[in-house]
Amino acid sequence: MTDHRKYLDPGVISKIQGIDMKARLVVEGFITGLHKSPYHGFSIEFAEHRQYMPGDEIKFIDWKVFARTDRYYVKQYEDETNLRCTIIVDSSASMNYASKGNITKFEYACYLAAAMAFMMMKQQDAVGLALYDTTVRSYLPSRSKKSYIQEILRTLGNATPSNQTGTGAALASIADRIPRRGLVIVMSDFFDDLGAVTSALKRFRHSNHEVLAFQILDPRERDFNFGYDAMFRDMETAEEMTTQPYQIKTAYSEALKDFTESLKNSCRERNIDYMLLDTAQPFDVALVQYLMKRQMIQG
């Protein structure tokens, strides 16, 4: 069992501390630059108490807590959030690949997911998590309670990539579980039928979600530098093949380039934010670069 606490490194948290993750598109319950909700007084699911601040309505003060502590606290509800985000991580067997000196693609995704979840909860946004392979393996609905980050970290730490990939069907199932529009972040190598992948991403956009697609690849998957002779084993089917990599490197490189370009173009056509990530680059560097670029675009 993985120590889930490792996914929130203090050094990484310090790097993203001053960066906000704002929605680029207008989503339900989101007001740019403000942390006030249009749902005050209408939600029914209690999340936690927070200290009273000037401007809070007196009717939301919890007088029972005041009687015990002599301090003013207001009740905060799940819908009192700017944004609801669902982070979706591919946990199929292909994500368990790592070349020498690098972490697996799944580990890379877990670090990214943890950092983004922490950052958004700090903004009082609600975050949920889904893990999938051929089907949805874990699903945590979006919550804004700060202690919920521990449940997200535990779920990531306890997961073991396995089985084949069924991105299309799994994402369609997750789309049906998200009750209202928000931000959807998908982390995967997307090694699946391109039509099924793009159709699934398109489904989120049809529901007016803002969608971020992070394609995570190992450097050897990108440059195919495996030496003179190599034995390749499919991590999902266990099928093996011995070959000389240099003989197929050109054809492989062209096929991969066509695949990633088609995925990127398909995302752009649907107003989906696409980013290709290489596990050789520290995930925190990639994340900060992405967030800073996003802030510049948003102005």
Mean pLDDT by 10 residues, the chain (299 residues): 68 70 51 37 52 70 84 65 87 92 94 91 89 95 90 94 89 91 94 92 92 94 66 57 61 86 95 94 88 71
Q: How many whole angstroms separate alpha carbon 174 and alpha carbon 88? A: 9
Per-residue confidence (pLDDT) for residue 228, from 0 to 100: 52
Q: How many whole angstroms separate alpha carbon 227 and alpha carbon 111? A: 30
Tell me the residue ranges of DSSP E strands in 4-162: 46-51, 73-77, 84-90, 126-132, 136-143
Per-residue confidence (pLDDT) for residue 42, from 0 to 100: 38
With beta carbons less than 8 A apart as the criterion, state whether 40 and 82 touch: no
Per-residue confidence (pLDDT) for residue 133, from 0 to 100: 95
With beta carbons less than 8 A apart as the criterion, state whether 39 and 19 touch: no
Per-residue confidence (pLDDT) for residue 19, from 0 to 100: 65
3-state secondary structure of 84: strand
Per-residue confidence (pLDDT) for residue 37, from 0 to 100: 40
User: Tokens standing for 14?
Assistant: 């310090």
Q: How many whole angstroms separate alpha carbon 183 and alpha carbon 274? A: 14
List where CATH 3.40.50.410 sits in the chain: 12-23+83-298
With 0.85 as the threshold, say if the pTM is over it.
no
136-143: strand order across its sheet: 136-143, 126-132, 84-90, 183-188, 210-217, 273-278
Q: How many whole angstroms separate alpha carbon 260 and alpha carbon 1? A: 33
Per-residue confidence (pLDDT) for residue 129, from 0 to 100: 97
Superfamily of domain 12-23+83-298: von Willebrand factor, type A domain (3.40.50.410)
Per-residue confidence (pLDDT) for residue 250, from 0 to 100: 74
